[in-house]
Chain A
Amino acid sequence: MKKWKALRFCTILCAVALASWSYSASAVDCPIKIGGLAPLSAPGAVTGGEAMRDAMMIAVDEVNAKGGLLGCQVKLVMGDTEGLPEKGTAVMEKLINQDKVVAAGGEYHSSAGIAAMEVAHKYGIPVVFAETWNDGITSKKYPEVFRIAPLSSEVADFQSKFAATVPGVKKVAMIVENTDFGRPNAEASVKVLEKAGIQALMFPVDIGTQDFSSIIQRMKAEKPDLIMVIVTGEASYNFTQQAADAGTGPENLPMICDQTALESKAYWTNVPAGNYGIIMRVGIPPQLFNDVAKTFVKAYTTKTGKNAAESYAFEAYDSVRILMQAIKEANSTEGKAIIKALEKINYVGALGTITFPYGQDNPPDKTGKEDKWWHQFPEPAITMLQYQKKGQDSTEAVVVYPAKYKTGDPVYVNKK
């Protein structure tokens, strides 16, 4: 009798557990909340942050217009990281514990991203970083952390190889932001440049520096042949224009500007003497846009009134869209299920087809790859553009490198 009682108890217990498990597997709290990280205040790169916010909102609006996700509407909850690590931590804590987001996308600054990912890891919430380049983000091999932006070391390699193609370059001066983005990027660039026999000098400054006059004098005294700006936000505009005022701007010396120069209107307002600035752009060039990219650009230009979408807008759009596809494929908003879906995803987005070949089932070290390739989109297209007319829009800027995407020859201002 006792045996039967125990058996009956076990059966009921199993049924309850099964029922609750199946409920938790399929039940979804509506609306599904996704966190959006971006710097929306200084000292962060506000120009980039606002573009990313708009792009993420478009991604969510598109899905909601088609009926939502798993029968729910999707809500984007924005968090302003200000580009600061302490804000990155606080914002992520709030998004997870107060707003109850199931995943997060976006972010521009590596420092804020590194801080935010620790929180995401603590709570098991997946996060797809859009524009944070620091290698350490993926090198930590956290199951929750994915990235569709290029690796800092790869970017540095690309930029430095371009710098080496500029005729007569023997010395490169780099103005470097003293952050998790700037330092590693500059150090990797120095290695590549020195390998190519080019002397590289780093001039690190704090994030948000306004007055560069003294450091520009010092840089000028070193007589560099090319300047690389590894500083984000309005500080990059300040540096570029102040360098131009001192006679070492993009119109006097080849200068690789920060990506925020892609925001043409802000660039020409803040750097009126910025013609011939060279800018790196992540993402496929406009002539190779797929349908997703074309649709996004149309929606983005309508929403923002801009002529085109910047590379970080593309990345932010895809970071949220890829999360929504993962939620759909996982048929769940549970962190582990989303992570599993992301590891197997084959997502066609505005940046092209995105996959994460290295993860829990295929760790990078298994194939002799470095840890930085963990959950990393391996093939983001990168190009170098150059403004060749004052007031030119970045979409009309000439693609000068690499050869396979080239639309025109670069103008080397010191050789004109």
Chain B
Amino acid sequence: MEHSAIFWTVFAWLTFWGMVGVIVTPRIFLRKNLDVSRAGLAGACIGAATGPLGLLPLWYFGPRLRTSWNVLSGLLIIAILAWAFAVADPHNTCVTNGEFVTSLFVNGVIMGIIYGFMALGLSLIFSILGVVSFAHGEFYMIGGMVVYFFTTTWFPGSHPVLGLIAACAITFAIGAIFERIFLQPMSKGKVERPIEYGILVTFGLAFFLQYFVQAVAGANPVKAGRFFDFPVVGIPTMADPWLIKTTTGGLTLFNAASISNPRLTAAAIALLMLGILLLFLYHTWIGKALRAVSQDPQAAAVIGINPETMNTLAFALGGMLAGLSGATLVQSFSWVPQVGMLPTLRSFVIIVLGGLGSLPGAFLGGLVIGVIEAAGTGCVPDPTRAAAYIPAYGMMVLTLVLLLKPTGFFGRQQ
């Protein structure tokens, strides 16, 4: 960074006024007998974004706080930081090359959708069973393995979509059987320390699945072929495809952002499945029953919903979502029995960021992590460090959000 002092001065200014806002605003609101539940977050956001110009009216008038103010302040903070970065490092590729930034952003969004989809299952399981499944990555791994072996060994030449269906069926079945045998005793009160039991038993499942697959399928990396070939088109014209240009293996947007076919396919399937899941949860009787159990299992039982069946369904569905996520990504990544370890860790970060048990939160969390990782890798001035910090980018955002809003984006207060 050429003029790092400029960037760090702006950063220190934002941090200082953010801290002033987070400390002082709740005290003033308390003294004025106003709602303090969101005062800290609003004070931090408005303080960092506007400094004393925004804080003084906030303290003086004590208005009713709105979520939109936090969102606007957040966007303003991002804009200020981006401006400071551009001034401090004018020759950075992120500043000079618009195509590069577009490409980074688009790929970040694509990866974010995939991350979010993976984390959805974990969030669903937590919202209904109250269990953090440490075997989530192994469902992801099995989904990919099933597609690979289905299309290359069990039914060579069969269409990958059949593999996807098989992956869903197998991961759903594993989830259902496991929940029935190992997690039901927990919900029936047969286990003395259910939280510790839930962690240990899902850990056990993770190790079992990992080493079982390693013993059966071997530890060599495998990879499925592309599910579909794109038709070769150019929009608006083949001669000048400035909007979209496709080849069989990928797509280029605005002559700038290239997205590989497997990733785009995986993201499209994730969005489609998200839509189906939301329809299922909000417009079917079983979906509504699942949501009812997540809100109050005892009240749900009173109106004729069997919470145990819903628990089984939730765990199986959660496992299936992870399995489907893996099944769509086995055409992108080399697949080994340990492939689920990193996605599991990332999913934990995402669901805490989005708010434990919140499905929209999980999806938004995934998008945020995807974009932040892409931006960090692409824009950190020192290329020798940029990629090595990938796991740290998500953790920094998580720490910041938890400091300001301990329940995450959409988490519920217990």
Question: Known contacts A202-B383, A203-B383; is A266 also within 8 Å of B221 by CB?
Answer: yes
Query: Are B111 and A213 closer than 8 Å at their CB atoms?
Result: yes
Q: How many Å from the CB of A172 to the closest CB on chain B?
A: 13
Listed stretches A39-47, A154-162, A365-373; interface member: A39-47
Interface residues of A in 171-216 (CB under 8 A from B): 178, 201-206, 208-215
Question: Which A residues lie within 8 Å of B333 (CB)?
Answer: 210-211, 238
B222 → A minimal CB distance (Å): 6
A197-237 contacts to B (CB < 8 Å): 201-206, 208-215, 217-218, 221-222, 233-234, 237
Interface check B385, CB cutoff 8 A: yes
Q: Which of B221, B336, B339, B377 contacts A218 (CB 8 A)?
A: B377
Are the C-beta atoms of A266 and B220 separated by less than 8 Å? yes
Let me know if A245 and B339 touch, CB within 8 A. no
> By CB atoms of chain B within 10 A, which of A50, A208, A213, A266 has the most?
A213
Bitwise interface map of B from 151 to 169 toward A, beta carbon under 8 Å scored 1, else 0: 0000000000000000000
With an 8 A cutoff between CB atoms, is B107 at the interface? Answer: yes
**Is residue B390 contacting chain A, with contact meaning CB distance below 8 A?**
yes
Distance in angstroms between the alpha carbons of A218 and B99 in the assembled complex: 11
A residues less than 8 Å from B262 (CB atoms): 245
Asked if A269 and B222 make an inter-chain contact with CB atoms under 8 angstroms apart, the answer reads: yes
Known A-B contacts A213-B263, A214-B378; the reply to A42 vs B219 at CB < 8 A is yes
* Distance, CA A244 to CA B158, complexed state (A): 25
- Identify the closest chain B residue to A186 (Cβ): B384
Residue B387 contacts which of A50, A203, A270 (CB distance < 8 angstroms)?
Answer: A203
A49–B219 Cα distance when bound, in Å, is 10
Interface pair B336/A234, CB less than 8 Å apart: yes
Give how many B residues have a beta carbon under 8 Å from the other chain's beta carbons: 43
A272 proximity list for chain B (CB < 8 A)? 225
Q: Name the distance in Å between B357's Cβ and chain A's nearest Cβ.
A: 27
- CB <8 Å contact, B100 and A221: yes
Complex contact B378–A50 (CB within 8 A): no
Instruction: A205 to B383: give the CA distance in the assembly, Å.
Output: 10
Question: Cα distance A206–B220 when bound, in Å?
Answer: 20
- A residues 244-287 near B (Cβ < 8 Å) are 245-247, 266, 269-270, 272-273
Judge whether B260 and A245 touch: CB under 8 Å.
yes
Do A270 and B386 form a contact, CB below 8 Å, given A46-B221, A50-B220, A245-B260? no
A325 near B: Cβ within 8 Å?
A: no
Question: Are B219 and A218 within 8 A (Cβ)?
Answer: no
Residues from chain A with a CB closer than 8 A to the CB of B108 are 214
Which B residues lie within 8 Å of A246 (CB)?
258, 260
Q: Is A242 an interface residue (CB 8 A)?
A: yes
Q: Do the beta carbons of A205 and B387 come within 8 Å of each other? A: yes
B-contacting residues, A26-73, CB 8 Å? 40-43, 46-47, 49-50
Contacts of A245 in B (CB 8 A): 249-250, 260-263
Interface centre among B104, B219, B263, B338 (most CB of A within 10 A): B219
* A interface footprint on B382-410 (CB within 8 Å = 1, 0 otherwise): 01111110110000000000000000000
Name B223's contact: one of A50, A202, A269 (CB within 8 Å). Answer: A269
Who on chain B is nearest to A233 by CB? B221
Chain B residues within 8 Å of A238, by CB = 333-334
Q: Which residues of chain B are near A50, meaning CB under 8 Å?
A: 218-220
Measured CB to CB, the closest approach of chain A to B34, in angstroms, equals 44
A-contact 0/1 string along B348-376, CB 8 Å cutoff: 00000000000000000000000001100
A270 to B337, CA, bound (A): 15
List of B residues within 8 angstroms of A211 by Cβ: 111, 333
Asked if A202 contacts B384 (CB within 8 A), the reply is yes
Category for how many chain A residues contact B: 35 or more
Q: Which residues of chain A have C-beta atoms less than 8 A from B302's C-beta?
A: none
Q: Please name the residue on chain A nearest to B148 by beta carbon.
A: A269
**B249 contacts A221, CB within 8 Å?**
no
In whole Å, how far is A49's beta carbon from the nearest beta carbon of chain B? Answer: 8
Establish whether residues A218 and B220, one from each chain, have CB atoms under 8 Å apart when the complex forms.
no
Q: Are A215 and B387 in contact (CB under 8 A)?
A: yes
Interchain CB contact under 8 A, A214 and B221 = no
Contact of A242 (CB < 8 Å), options: B100, B260, B387: B260
Q: Which of B218, B221, B249, B378 contacts A217 (CB 8 A)?
A: B378
Give every chain A residue within 8 A of B218 (Cβ-Cβ): 50
Interface assignment of B93: CB less than 8 Å from any CB of chain A: yes
Interface string of B58-95 (1 = CB under 8 A from A): 00000000000000000000000000000000000100
Contact present for B334 and A221 (CB under 8 Å): no
Q: Which A residues are CB-close (under 8 A) to B334? A: 210, 234, 237-238, 241, 270
Closest beta carbon of chain A to B118's beta carbon, Å:
12
Q: Cα distance A218–B93 when bound, in Å?
A: 8
Query: How far apart are B107's CB and chain A's nearest CB, in angstroms?
Result: 5
Distance between Cα atoms of A218 and B388 in the complex (Å): 14
* Chain B hits for A42, CB < 8 A: 219, 336-339
CB nearest to A43 among chain B residues: B338
Q: How far is the CA of A202 from the CA of B388 in the complex (A)?
A: 11
Tell yes or no: B103 within 8 A of A by CB.
yes
* 8 Å CB contact of A46 from B97, B103, B336: B336
Name B221's contact: one of A40, A202, A237, A247 (CB within 8 Å).
A237
Report the minimum CB–CB distance from B70 to chain A (whole Å). 28
Q: How far is the CA of A212 from the CA of B111 in the complex (A)?
A: 11
Inter-subunit contact A215/B386 (CB<8 Å) = yes
Task: Report the Cα distance A245→B373, complex, angstroms.
Answer: 20
A204-B388 in contact (CB<8A): yes
* CB <8 Å contact, B391 and A41: no
The answer, yes or no, to whether B4 is at the interface (CB within 8 Å) is no
The residue on A at minimum CB distance from B249 is: A245
A47 touches B388 (CB 8 A): no
Chain A residues, Cβ within 8 Å of B250: 245, 247
Q: Are A214 and B373 in contact, with the CB atoms below 8 A?
A: yes
**Residue of A46, A210, A273 touching B219 (CB-CB under 8 A):** A46
Q: How far is the CA of A210 from the CA of B219 in the complex (A)?
A: 16
Q: Would you mind naming 20 contact pairs between A and B with Cβ atoms under 8 Å apart? A: A40-B219, A42-B219, A43-B338, A46-B220, A203-B387, A204-B388, A205-B390, A209-B390, A217-B104, A217-B374, A218-B387, A221-B97, A234-B334, A234-B336, A245-B250, A246-B258, A246-B260, A266-B221, A269-B223, A273-B249
Tell me the A residues contacting B by CB distance below 8 Å: 40-43, 46-47, 49-50, 178, 201-206, 208-215, 217-218, 221-222, 233-234, 237-238, 241-242, 245-247, 266, 269-270, 272-273
Q: Which 3 A-B pairs have the closest CB atoms?
A: A245-B260, A214-B377, A234-B221
